Amino acid sequence: MSVSASAPAAADLPVTTADPAVFRRVLGHVPTSVCVVTAATPQGPVGVTVGSFTSVSLEPPLVVFYCGRNSASAAAIVGSGHFCVNVLTENQQQVCAAFAGRTADRFATGEWDLTADAAPRLGGAAAWIECDVEDSFPAGDHVAVVGRVRRLAAAGGRHKPLIFHRGQLVRLDRACGVHAPTRAFDWWDV
């Protein structure tokens, strides 16, 4: 077995995986989407920025996001029974910041559809996914919220997503529109 010249040397790897700073730094190399998850509650709309959203299953159509275990917004979202995942575009960094912090009126940032009894949808988002809460459970210092997709849509045009990578919000570069052969991903549809 040969070692690739670009593979990290054994000396570069930490001895322990228990150090949270090392864990965060290494996993920061995995780019993630940036979304604002929202819900309508009797007390008004709630929302939170998440960087850990993904699909789970096609049949049934399930997605999951993770939020800090002590997040009041996450508890309100689970309690509402419904939520909307708003996938942010590269021009919506202010929305990301508003919902990541403790801003008093988060919904003052961005153009929101605050229709009664529906989870708020962000105008200009790259996509939105409306879900019913299917399940939630502790996942370390976070809570996993699984949603059954009810409705979804993606924006037309060339909306590029906002990405979180190595501790920063970043934009896709010009390679975004470059065609790459997908034969190697035939397993994806199995």
**32-33: strand order across its sheet:** 32-33, 163-165, 168-170
Residue, of 65 and 158, whose pLDDT is higher: 65
Residue 25 lies in a domain: no
Query: What is the C-alpha to C-alpha distance for residues 117 and 42, in angstroms, rounded to an integer?
Result: 9
Q: Percent of the chain, pLDDT > 70?
A: 72
In the chain the beta strands, taken as DSSP E runs, fall at 32-33, 35-41, 44-50, 53-57, 62-68, 82-87, 112-113, 121-122, 127-139, 142-154, 163-165, 168-170
Residue 177 lies in a domain: no
Residue 7 lies in a domain: no
Question: What is the pTM for the complete model shown?
Answer: 0.79
Query: What is the C-alpha to C-alpha distance for residues 149 and 133, in angstroms, rounded to an integer?
Result: 9
Task: Report the DSSP beta bridge partners of residue 149.
Answer: 131
Q: In degrees rounded to 5, what are phi and psi of residue 88?
A: -75, 150
Domain that holds residue 94: 30-169
pLDDT digit string, tens, across residues 48-98: 999 889 899 999 999 999 998 888 889 999 999 999 999 999 888 899 889
Residue 185 lies in a domain: no
Give the pLDDT band (50/70/90) at residue 1: very low
Residue 182 lies in a domain: no
Residue 24 lies in a domain: no
Query: What is the C-alpha to C-alpha distance for residues 178 and 26, in angstroms, rounded to an integer?
Result: 27
Residue 94 lies in a domain: yes
Is the pLDDT at 173 greater than 80? The verdict is no
CATH code, 104: 2.30.110.10
pLDDT digit string, tens, across residues 21-33: 777 777 566 666 7
Is the pLDDT at 100 greater than 80? The verdict is yes
Going by C-alpha positions, the residue among 117, 19, 139 that lies closest to residue 71 is 139
Tally of domains in the chain? 1
